[in-house]
Amino acid sequence: MLSLILVTILSLSSLSCSNAEGNHATTEISENNLHAGNTDDQNIKPEFLTYDTFLKKVWNFEENPQQWVYEGDEPCVIDFYADWCRPCKLVAPIMEDLAKKYNGKVKIYKINVDKEKKLASIFQIRSIPAVLFSPKTGKPTMQVGALPKDEYIRIINENLLNTK
């Protein structure tokens, strides 16, 4: 039983990265080449948010620090990631696919935790990828670790679009 628990913990930990500072000897990917090779009909992709665009498009916590007030017209999914994180690289193409699948229904955003440390701190991001699911009304939920595409679809359909 103990070995089963240990195997489960090890496999789950391999699907997320610690957000600790340090030297990361992995290949960096830029926001521009995440989308290289797209054809014209595939230009729908996640939008990268900065601190300022987050305040305008998602939640202005400077004006509403005690209450979540979603600023968007559509529910959203926010992928907190880093260029050096291998599981984040696995989630990136899934987020691109979700942006296309839910175009006009759900906004897909990405936040680089190394560039937007204040946002990562506000959401207490300790492991990445971390994905925030925010309905138009109600409280958002957070999922940590890389999930299969079908699981992201299930969460979006059930929690954001209220469909099964």
User: Which residues participate in catalysis according to the annotation?
Assistant: 85, 88
Spatial distance between the Cα atoms of 54 and 109, rounded to a whole number of angstroms? 9
Phi, psi angle pair for 156, to nearest 5°: -60, -50
Task: For residue 54, give both structure tokens.
Answer: 């987050």
Stated as kind and residue range, the H or E segment containing 121 is helix 117-122
E strand spans, 73-129: 76-81, 107-112, 127-128
Spatial distance between the Cα atoms of 16 and 161, rounded to a whole number of angstroms? 26
Task: For residue 106, give both structure tokens.
Answer: 């759900």
Spatial distance between the Cα atoms of 85 and 37, rounded to a whole number of angstroms? 22
Spatial distance between the Cα atoms of 106 and 135, rounded to a whole number of angstroms? 9
Q: Which of 80, 147, 85 is nearest to 118 (CA)?
A: 80
